[in-house]
Chains A and B, each alone.
Chain A
Amino acid sequence: MNKIALIIRREYITRVRNKTFIILTLIAPLLYGLLIALPIIATKFGQDVRFVDVVDETGQFKYKLKNSGELFFRYPDASFSEEKKLMKQKDGPQLILRIPNQLNIFKPDSLLLLSAKNVGLNFNEKIENAVNERINDLKIQKLKLNKTLLDTLVTNVNITVRADTGEGEKESSSAAASAAAFGGGFLIYMFIFLYGGMVLRGVQEEKQNRIVEIIISSVKPFQLMLGKIVGIAMVGLTQFIVWVILTIITTTLIGVLLTPSAEQMQVAHAIAAHGPASGMMDAAAQGTLHKISSAIGTLNLTMLLSMFVFYFLGGYLLYSSLFAACAAAVDSQSDLYQFMFPISLPIIVSISLIPSVISNPDSNLAVWLSIIPFTAPVIMMARLPFGVPAWQLGLSAFILIGGFITTTMFAGKIYRIGILMYGKKITWRELSKWLFY
């Protein structure tokens, strides 16, 4: 078997078989899915339907209060004192809303909510909203205002954003684009450090273990370095693919779980039948889901994912070869930092520049940073969701490929000499000399 292939295989298999790696790979997307699902699940399952018995002494509220997701108004014929008695019984009403006869709709402060136990603030507010809405209607009637006219006064602007990509206009959501820009840029940054760090530690291990001299008596140092970098890149791709697949599965599962079942629909309809103005239980949750999915729909996910893989690989190859060279050159952890810091600076700077890139993705700064290979992976991922001209993308990709070939070659030279150098404090001057050996 080809030697580089052997090295790649060892680097890949020893890492993929590692228990920590397996657990992290499987659990991360589940945690991620849970993170999204939790608030939705909480809305859905955390609150059950509560019935409020309305003792309406004015006779103007009966069947006029709007039910919402977890709030349902009943209108028993009993008086307030009778209801109060019933409350003490088992299965009696838990909440009684008294609307007194002398209610002044212009100063409605005599309402009373009697509850068997403490009611949450949020819940109280919902009841108030329902009552407010009805009182508003009553006021409009009393003041003889034109409701249709009033309704036209309410303005609700909803701007549709269209991206002109040259292939025709496309609806886009700037919120989704910003989120994708942040997510993409940050993930690239994380991946480069995660897997670049693996390369760094791998090289350090070989040097500290002193196995390296045994290996480079069989293969060229450059082959060893390249095999390690490629093997770990494959580990990264494996992890990424598993994450994408598992994330799709978990989000699909969450979607299925949160869509009301036939039974739930029946219950909802049964409840709805009681009142003229009622909503579906899951309307809110579903609305949120729908908004999210339609926003995601405005992004070109296939393009973003494939560009992510490209910029991850490019950025990783660029940086990990430099990391490998650093790890090969130095003996001690503390010496390592003096070289690692300046090398990782561009990528840290690009992360901190993401917000300004998002606010103006086509600024000169953003364009140039997305072409310079050291900042391109993060910055280009942040620009991509907003649309990038083809020539810029092409130029950036081309320079990045050239960049990692160059850094790998330089790193190979430093690695070759450094890996056999022990007990010597290395300076930048020394390193630059090694380049020309």
Chain B
Amino acid sequence: MNILEARNISKYYSRHTALEDVSISVPAGSVYGLLGPNGAGKTTLIRIITQIIGPDKGEVILNGKKITPQDIYRIGYMPEERGLYRKMKVGEQILYLAQLKGLPKDIAIKNIKYWFDALNISDWWNKKVEELSKGMQQKIQFICTVIHEPELLILDEPFSGFDPVNAEIIKKELLKLKAKGNTIILSTHRMESVEELCDNFCLINRSHKVIDGPVNEVRHKFKAHKYELIISGLTQELPTAEIPDFHLLETHKVSDDTLHLIFRVGDSISTNEILKKFLPYGEIELFKEILPSIHDIFIELVGGQADE
């Protein structure tokens, strides 16, 4: 079941089109990647979903119903451009933002304590934001996003500006939230940074949707029949001639009798058949099909059109 569907969304500004007929479907309980270069229209789509701006065409469906202003309580949004009131105390600030999300005060305080413990910042309540380092502020921003226990989390460029340690902490917390059944939308132009987290994704370029679907399915669909092989104990030449359309892409000798190969084959032969051909020739240390990354797919689909 889809928790969120955006149907045929278009948004026009006076001098340019921000989105043209973009539709996405986000399955409940999954991590969804909204990918594309800067300026593709990702943030506009998110702002339409979070009802900060309205679409010129199309509609947003949440849990099977057209989205209403009340639904903002079910969404947690961390914008790309994020900040906090510098002079306000950390605790009061999160409490204020939580109350704006409709959370009663007592529950808000309970949740803040939970997150303070989870992120090891128990004694931060009375600190002023301006006293915190950037990394510390990012933790607070993350708490502000999840404080009202939203079903749907939308994080725009979540890892930009995060240091690697904090990014790792946040990734872990996101996976925990996913395990609890929350749905997470990650938007980023750095496709490789979220590929491993996402179950489904959508590629947007120049206001248009390029492709969407489950990450694995799409990668298989775009596979170039590329393989990587490390084989040792070689006594004779590999039977590459028996494999249709065999193209050696890279090779190097690891030792006298060990070879590391990367090659491409035609699509008439299956992975198992290739493996069978190599099995008698030595000890197979590694054999895997190289699937294209989302970035590769993006390049293949839009070629030189990317604005990056």
Contact = CB atoms under 8 A, between A and B. Distances in A.
B79 A209 contact: no
Contacts of A6: 96, 99-100
Contacts of A218: 72, 97, 100-101
Contacts of B77: 214, 217
Nearest to A3: B100
Chain B residues touching A, majority SS = loop
A209 B86 contact: yes
Contacts of B52: 213, 216-217, 420
B40 interface: no
Interface string B43-85: 0000100111100000000000000000010010111011111
Contacts of B85: 14, 205-206, 209, 211
Interface string B275-286: 000000000000
Contact of B83 (A3, A210, A422): A210
Nearest to A219: B100
A1 B99 contact: yes
B82 A217 contact: no
Contacts of B84: 209, 211
A211 B82 contact: yes
Interface centre among B82, B83, B97 (most CB of A within 10 A): B83
A209 B84 CA distance: 6
A343 to B, nearest CB: 24
Nearest to B141: A214
Interface in B254-296: none
Contacts of B50: 217
Contacts of B51: 217
B22 interface: no
Nearest to A6: B99
Chain A residues touching B, majority SS = helix
Contacts of B79: 210, 213-214, 217
How extensive is the interface on chain A, given as a class?
Answer: 20 to 34
A215 B97 contact: yes
Given A216-B52, A217-B50, A210 B82 contact: yes
Nearest to A9: B96
Interface string A196-217: 0000000001101111011111
A219 B75 CA distance: 13
A219 B98 CA distance: 12
Interface centre among A7, A216, A218 (most CB of B within 10 A): A218
Interface centre among B81, B84, B97, B101 (most CB of A within 10 A): B81
B100 A422 contact: no
B99 A213 contact: no
A10 interface: yes
> What are the 10 A-B residue pairs with the smallest beta carbon separation, nearest first?
A210-B83, A209-B83, A213-B79, A218-B100, A210-B81, A217-B77, A211-B83, A217-B50, A218-B101, A6-B99
Interface of B: 14, 47, 50-53, 72, 75, 77-79, 81-88, 96-97, 99-101, 141, 144
27 contacts: A6-B96, A6-B100, A14-B85, A14-B87, A205-B85, A205-B86, A206-B85, A208-B83, A209-B85, A209-B86, A210-B79, A213-B82, A214-B77, A214-B79, A214-B144, A215-B97, A215-B100, A217-B50, A217-B52, A217-B75, A218-B72, A218-B101, A219-B100, A420-B47, A420-B53, A422-B81, A433-B14
